[in-house]
Chain A
Amino acid sequence: QKEVEQDPGPLSVPEGAIVSLNCTYSNSAFQYFMWYRQYSRKGPELLMYTYSSGNKEDGRFTAQVDKSSKYISLFIRDSQPSDSATYLCAIRAGGGNKLTFGTGTQLKVEL
């Protein structure tokens, strides 16, 4: 079993839709949770960073962490074609250095 599981998609939604992206993890030591966006042939770009259970909002993006269920989510409101990319969850243990990534979910927002 992988430490971090993420549905690879692809996920196709119409413009303006609310998108929900999810990851589950198995290691209780994971304390820091990130979402990266990766456009084709580009490096991952940090979108959201959180270290506690609950919600964190930044513009159209909301990150949600449920440590009791070992489940993290990223919501994108009013999705735009420019949001079409691969979204990677990344998790790190407290005091650790290594990021453990999910496999990424490919999202396509269609006009």
Chain B
Amino acid sequence: QKEVEQNSGPLSVPEGAIASLNCTYSDRGSQSFFWYRQYSGKSPELIMSIYSNGDKEDGRFTAQLNKASQYVSLLIRDSQPSDSATYLCAVKEGNTPLVFGKGTRLSVIA
């Protein structure tokens, strides 16, 4: 059974701080890793993908992958109240469907 684990939160950070979201996965064959953002009442929106070990930066977002530790994280710099949402980690192997974690609820306090 493939599992993706996330701390459900809520994770509260002050505006302007760095938010750090973490995810672990059980399947060592996983090859592709994604972070989705979901606002309340909306569908998930893809914000980052990462496929190889190391860091990948896109604006205020940085995804980090460590396959040896089966760990993927998302850093949000200069957090804004508009970043308040649930962040879903998803992984997949090859052409299989995405497996999602339960999500971490982030609250950015102004």
Q: Decide whether A and B assemble into one complex.
A: no
Report A's interface with B, CB cutoff 8 A. Answer: none
Report B's interface with A, CB cutoff 8 A. Answer: none
